[in-house]
Each structure stands twice: as C-alpha cells, then as structure tokens.
Amino acid sequence: MFEEASEVFDNMFKSSFPLTFIVFIPAVLILVSPLPAEAAHEFTVYRMQQYDLQGQPYGTRNAILNTEARTVEAEVLSRRCVIMRLVDFSYERYQKALRQSAGAVVIILPKNMSTMPQDIVQQFMELEPEMLATETIVPVYFALEDDELLSIYTQTLTSSSSQGSSSAAEVLIHTATANGFQMVTSGAQSKAVSDWSITSLEGRLAGTGGEDLPTIVLVAHYDSFGVAPWLSYGADSNGSGVSMLLELARLFSRLYTYKRTHAGYNLLFFVSGGGKFNYQGTKRWLEDNLDHTDSSLLQDNVAFVLCLDTLGNGDSLHLHVSKPPKEGTPQYALLKELETVVSSQYPEVKFSMVHKKINLADDTLAWEHERFGIRRLPAFTLSHLNSHREAQRSSIMDVRPHVDLRKLSRNTKLIAEALARVIYNLTEKGAPGDLQIFTEQMQVQEEQLSSVVDWLTAQPRAAQLVDKDSSVVSTLEYHLGRYLKDVRRHYVKADKRDPEFVFYDQLKQTMNAYRVKPAIFDLLLAVCIAAYLGVIYLAIQHFGVLYSLVRRITAPKTKQH
Amino acid sequence: MTLFHFGNCFALAYFPYFITYKCSGLSEYNAFWRCVQAGATYLFVQLCKMLFLATFFPTWEGGAGVYDFVGEFMKATVDLADLLGLHLVMSRNAGKGEYKIMVAAMGWATAELVMSRCIPLWVGARGIEFDWKYIQMSFDSNISLVHYIAMAAVVWMFTRYDLPKSFRLPVTVLLGLCVYKAFLMECLDCTAKAILTFYCFNTFM
C-alpha cells in the first residue's frame, strides 16, 4: 500500500505545485497550533501576603505553580501542591508541607465564615501572624470553597491516603480508575510594584475666636490587613474606626455651623493609609507638616491627638498612652471626661488607661499614637482591645459580623460626649456628668454608621490594593468633603534608595485543575490496545473459520442432505 | 504523556482499517486509488446531504424535550443518499462482488474516519486533561467500519437480479435499519423515558 501511496504523492508533487501548498500549509498550521485550555475546574485563588517592611521580607516569595495535587496525608509532598481545608488546618501540617518544600499550599476556606465553629476561627486567627512571620518560597494560596473544589479535594484525599501500602494488583487497578489533578496557575512570577503611592486624607473644622487656637486631631487608618490581601476586609479593624471618624465629623460640623455652638478649638480629621504597615501614611504626613512647611496646624498648639482603632465590639474601652498625661493638660482633661461619661452614662463599659512605653527597638510600632509620640505630640489611641498584639487586628476572619452596630454607636456617642465636654469646657462650667448633648436632632445616626461599615467591608482594603484612583479613596474624600473644609489628599511613595515598604503583585490568580491520569495508565492502555489489535488481526486472518462456523449455525438443513 | 495518549487513540482507530486492507487481499488488486475515489464520493455525498438539509429543513423551534418525530424522520430519510453513493461507487468498479463491496466500504469508512475523527483526536487527546471519550471515539470508528462493510454488502445484494425471492424482504428490512438506525435509537430512547416517567408518576400517586 505504501508504494501506491507514494506513487500518488509523487504525482501530486511533480504535476501540481500549488496543490502541495494546499495540502501542507494547513497541516503545518494545525501542527503548531496552541492547545486549547479545557480544565476540570477553574477557580480564583488569593495569594498570601508578600511585602518588605524596612528591608525585612515577609510572606511568600513565589507565585507560579504547575504541579500535581496531594493532601497532607500523603507521604511525599515535595514539589506537589498540598490542598488543605480550613477545618483540618493546623500549624504542624503547614510546617510539614513547608519542610518538605512542597510546590504550593492551597487552603480552602468555606464560603461563609460564620458557619465555622468559633474555636477553629480563633485558632486560625492566632496562626496568621506566625504564618506571615516566616519568609517562605512556597506559594500559599487561599481559595473559597465550592462544590467542584470540594469534590477535587475528596478525590485527592482518597488517592493520597491510599498510597504506600497496597498490593501490585490494587495499584494497577488504582492507576486505571483514579483521577489525579494537575494544578496550574495563570500569571507570571511576582515582582515588586514600583511607585506605589499610599493615599491619606485630611480635613478640618476651624474654630472661632482669634488666632492660635488649640487643635484637636482625630485619626483613623482605613486600610486592612490579613494573611491574604484580597481577603482582608477589616471590619472591626479598622472599618469601625473610620465610620466612627466620619460620624464624629458629621456631628461636630453640625455643631460648628451655628455661631452659638462654634467652639474655640480647631478640629483636624485625618484618615490615614498604610496603617497596618507601620503607619506609613501618618509618618509621612507628620514629616511633611512638621519639617517641610512653615506653618501648619500641627506645629502650633496641639491639644491632643486621638487615634481610633478597633471600636466596633466589646464592652471595654482602653485608652492606650505612651506617657501618662500630667494634670492640667488637655489630655488629662479628656481622660477625666471619658471616665466621667463612662461612669455616669454607660456603667456597663469598663474603661481603663493602658500605659505602654514606645519601644523603638521593635520591628513595628504598636499603636498609631506612637507615631505622634515620637514627634513629641501628645497622643493616645482608643480601642476595645487590650493589647496591640491581638490577632483580631490583622486577620482575614475580621468580617462584617464582627462589628456589633449597637456597641459601635454607643462608643461613638461616648467619645462624642467626652470630646464635647472637653471642647466646651463643660465640667468647669458645672455641667452634671449625665448631661447628654448628642440627642434628638444631634443624635448619633446608626444607619449612617451601618452603611459606612457595610460599604467598607464590601471590598478588600489592603494597602497593596488601594491606589490613588481607587473608589475607596475617592468615596472617603467625597464624604469628608460634605462635612469638612480643606479636604486634601496626601501621598506616600517609598523612598527609591532605601524603601520603607515594598509591595509585590500577583496577589490574585486563576488556578486551573486538570484531570490527569498517571503515566502508567498510558502504558497500560497501549498494552491493551496492542492486545486488541492482535486479536483483530488473528480474527481477520482466519476469517474463513468464523464464516464457516456461522454458516453451520444458520443453515443446518443443508448439512443433512 | 499526552502525545502518547493521542498515539494510543490513533492506533486504536486506524490500525483495524490497515489490517483489513492488508488481509482482505485488496492490496493485490491495486485498489488504493479506487478507495481514494470512493472516499471522494463520500465527501461529495455528504456535501449534498448537508446542502439539502440546510435548505429544506429550517431549525425546529419547538419546546425542549419534545421530540419532533416527523421532522427527524424526514432528516433520517436524507441518509438514503448514503446508500445511493455506495451503489454508485460499486457500479463504477468492475470486478467480483466481494471486491466491489470491500473497495466501496473501505474507501467510505476511511473517508469518514479522516473527516470526522482525526481533528477531534488531534485537538482533544493532546491536551493535559484526560477524558474517556477519545478512547470511545476511536472504538466507535472500528464499529463503523464493520457497519459500512455490512451496509455495502446489503446494498450490493439489493441490486442483484438473481437474488432469491425469499431474501428480498430481509434485505429490504436490513437496508431500512441501516438508514434509520439513529432515528430508531432516539425513538426507543424517548419511549423508554416516557414509559418510565409514567410508571413513576403512577406509583407515587
């Protein structure tokens, strides 16, 4: 047959040259065509944090993946993608995967965090900082669970746990029936983002009654932090702080519109970015205002700086200071007013002052007021958390249900009352402790607080994701502009030669899970096909035997003649 | 090893044709070019069928799940052109009966293999993802080889004038089965489903 075929092709080549093109070009095109991508399942994965802070690298360094999937029970984990569910997650297993230099770790999170039992959530929250503290080259991904992912997980689990001890026949059957999965991510290797600018916003309410008025500064940082940037919604820390700041801005701007209630204090509101990365926004803002400008509100008479951090829950309030306030200073006045308001109007709240000296030898500062303290401005932070090391401040589990709206609005009213008493000097004028200013028309609006918190927690606000064109920044700017004057943006870019912070990209990727069969399966199949072809060959060669057999069966009467 | 898998499927699909060609003695009769001609006739017949279907049978806009018996019956009738094509090929080939049947069937089946199976195999079996359907497709081509040989034989028998009268009816029935095979399978499937739902409905009421 080949001779005849070659004859035909010879004629084709010799006689009609264009015909060969028509035959060959499509063949070549088909040969070099790229393979279509058809996956068993395609899903979005969110990578763990990767950043450098003050030269120190944190988090995972790698981003590319093209490996087989396994679960933790398997013996060999190196260069495989380890899949874990949140319920089975434990630090030892994570360490085991890292020690064997696994190809990647994928942690499957349930779609609805509130279905998880509290102790697992708590345990994971505590593990997050530990995971981030060690720099690793193994890429760690988080994926939200859905049915297909769960089925992939269960299939991988059965195949991983059955490895090792089984007979040869079992292994053979296993290779034919089991499904392996190859996990492939799209996207390139992660690299540093250059020229990322962190945006902060400021606005003011000017006081009345002459020059050189004392200034009160209210600060809250709007960014959030978690083990995966795209999953950090930061409801309590610090969505509650920002919503409280906006509500205070609204209330005091209302008071300041009327001549009778226009007080003799300047109010400066600052919504800072990069708060979770050692308060970069605040740091640069202070430098610009104190070192580079001739006159600024911060240089003159600053009464005190109040930072709001994590106030959306809990029944305690802690005023964190780096130096206990001396008597007769405005800070002392605020401390006293807070105590008065709590004891007379909100007895269920436990109020205390926490004194922590600024430790400059630490990697990061504890609270935002320490930035001001370093520049010798009197500052404190109000929070319902006792310590800055609490896991809640930097966890992806900090989602909207963590904020109790009634407690948030109670805290807002409490702080507003205390501030008003300081600004209007009410205690000296003899006002009783349970005098409530913010009632009826001046009430704290819970719907306002609720809508701001809902909006803030609807998107991830990690500092790597909010750039200067982001909708978060522009909406905050608009809101501040409704109540305050001179709303300005302030940008921070990392220094070129000695950057304080470096962010990396490739934080959200698409992962494909392809169903694959082990290599032995192909060989097995080849052997089976060869056997089948052998049988066919024999059948055709001895077709006569088959034919006579069939004839004997179908026409028996001819035999009997 | 995905190219290997493609090789597996291709071998499974193609080698029986090769074996049949070699062992049925066609190579001794220099039948290669004649098989290619039969293949070209296959292409022509398919083209005519497609044009006919596209022109005279607009898309059915009925409800989903309702099987258009009459429409599908008419479409299946168009497959009679296959039989006509086979008859045409066989009548142009001079020679013994077996020679004519084998040449027509081999050419027809090979053309169908190349046209309808090579490209899906090339594109699909080479990818990372594994699917059993490629093995199924290759095996299916083996079955269609046997089917076309049988069909060509029945057509040849139908056109013989010295066929015994008692064989006329079975041959006609077999011819009808060849053409309406897919249609009958769909009918059976629909009726089976209807009976099953009716039965379930009755047991639960």
Its pTM stands at 0.76
A525 Cβ neighbours under 8 A, 6+ residues apart: B5, B8, B135
Sheet holding A379-383, edge to edge: A350-355, A316-321, A379-383, A302-308, A215-221, A266-272, A197-205, A485-493
State whether the Cα torsion A144-A150-A152-A158 is positive or negative: positive
How far apart CA A207 and CA A242 sit, in angstroms, is 23
The nearest alpha carbon in chain B to A34 belongs to B123
Convert the pLDDT of each residue in A425-457 to its tens digit. Answer: 888 888 787 778 888 778 888 898 999 999 999
β-pairing, A350-355 vs A316-321, is: parallel
How far apart CA A492 and CA A421 sit, in angstroms, is 35
Between A30, A514, A543, which is nearest B122 by CB?
Answer: A30
Instruction: Choose from B19, B129, B139, B145 for mutation: most chain A CBs within 10 A.
Output: B129
What does the pLDDT read at residue A306? Answer: 93
What does the pLDDT read at residue A231? Answer: 87
Q: Residue A36: which pLDDT band, with cuts at 50, 70 and 90?
A: very low
Of A354, A345, A341, the residue nearest A382 (C-alpha) = A354
CB-based contact (8 Å) between B123 and chain A? Answer: yes
Q: Give the mean pLDDT of A140-149.
A: 87
CA angle A481, A484, A487 (to 5 degrees): 60
**Contacts with B35 from chain A: Cβ below 8 Å:** none
**Contacts with A536 from chain B: Cβ below 8 Å:** 15-16, 19, 142
Q: Give the mean pLDDT of A146-152.
A: 85
Q: Which residues of A514-525 are buried (b: 16+ CB within 10 A; e: fewer)?
A: bbbbbeebbebb
How far apart CA B193 and CA B187 sit, in angstroms, is 10
Convert the pLDDT of each residue in B143-197 to its tens digit. Answer: 888 888 888 888 888 888 777 777 778 888 888 887 777 778 888 888 888 888 8
How far apart CA A380 and CA A362 sit, in angstroms, is 19
Q: Rounded to a whole number, what is the distance in Å from the CA of B58 to chain A's nearest CA?
A: 32
Between A1, A38, A519, which is nearest B127 by CB?
Answer: A38
Between A1, A35, A525, which is nearest B8 by CB?
Answer: A525
Of A239, A272, A276, A273, the residue nearest A399 (C-alpha) = A239
Between B22, B32, B127, which is nearest A4 by CB?
Answer: B32
**Contacts with B36 from chain A: Cβ below 8 Å:** 8
Tokens of B123: 């594109």
pLDDT at B63 over 80: no
Q: Is the ipTM of this complex over 0.90?
A: no
SS3 A394: helix
Of A514, A512, A516, A466, the residue nearest A187 (C-alpha) = A512
Of A293, A4, A372, the residue nearest B28 (C-alpha) = A4
pLDDT at A59 over 90: no
Tokens of A438: 């913010």
**Contacts with B128 from chain A: Cβ below 8 Å:** 35, 182, 184, 514, 516
Chain A residues with a Cβ under 8 Å from any Cβ in chain B: 1, 4-5, 8, 30, 33, 35-40, 179, 182, 184, 514-517, 519, 522, 525-526, 529, 532-533, 536-537, 540-541, 543
CB-based contact (8 Å) between B36 and chain A? Answer: yes
Of A23, A16, A11, the residue nearest B33 (C-alpha) = A11
- Give the DSSP letter of residue A363: S
Tokens of B95: 């020679």
How far apart CA A197 and CA A501 sit, in angstroms, is 11
Q: How many CB atoms sit inside 10 A of residue A277's CB?
A: 23
Is A4–B23 a contact, with Cβ atoms under 8 angstroms apart? no
Instruction: Measure Cα distances from A352 to A330, A368, A369, A462, B9 in Å.
Output: 18, 18, 17, 31, 76
